Amino acid sequence: MSSPLPVTILTGFLGAGKTTLLNRILRGERNARIAVLVNDFGAVNIDAHLVDTVEGQAISLTNGCICCTMQGGLVQSMMRLLAREPRPDHVVVEASGIADPVGVVAAFRTPELREQTVLDGVVTVADAENFDSPRLDRQLLEDQVRAADLILLNKVDLVTPDALSRVRSEITASAPAARMLETVQADAPLDIVLGIGGTAGDLRAGAALPNRFETWTYHTHAPLAYRRVKQVLATLPPAIFRAKGILHLADAPALEFVAQVVGSRVALDVRGRRVGDPETVLVFIGERDCLDRATLHAALDGCVTGAVPLLPALRRSRGATAEAGIG
C-alpha span between 116 and 1 (Å, rounded): 9
Q: Residue 55 has what pLDDT?
A: 80
Binned at pLDDT 50, 70 and 90, residue 210 comes out as low
| Residue 316, pLDDT above cutoff 60 | no
C-alpha span between 220 and 92 (Å, rounded): 33
Q: Choose among 309, 282, 310, 312: nearest CA to 296.
A: 282
pLDDT in tens, 121-145: 899 999 999 998 888 888 888 899 9
Q: What is the mean pLDDT of residues 98-125?
A: 88
C-alpha span between 249 and 175 (Å, rounded): 32
C-alpha span between 3 and 317 (Å, rounded): 9
Q: Which helix (H) or strand (E) holds 66?
A: strand 66-69
User: What does the CA dihedral 299, 305, 311, 313 come to, rounded to 10 degrees?
Assistant: 50
Q: What is the mean pLDDT of residues 114-118?
A: 89
Residue 142 phi, psi (nearest 5): -65, -35
Q: Residue 196 has what pLDDT?
A: 52
| Contact call for residues 175 and 149 (beta carbons, < 8 A) | no
Q: Choose among 216, 225, 222: nearest CA to 245.
A: 216
Binned at pLDDT 50, 70 and 90, residue 260 comes out as confident
| Residue 212, pLDDT above cutoff 60 | yes
pTM of the model as a whole: 0.79
Percent of the chain at pLDDT > 90 equals 35
- The overall average pLDDT reported for the chain is 82
Domains belonging to the chain, first-starting first, are 5-193 (3.40.50.300), 200-323 (3.30.1220.10)
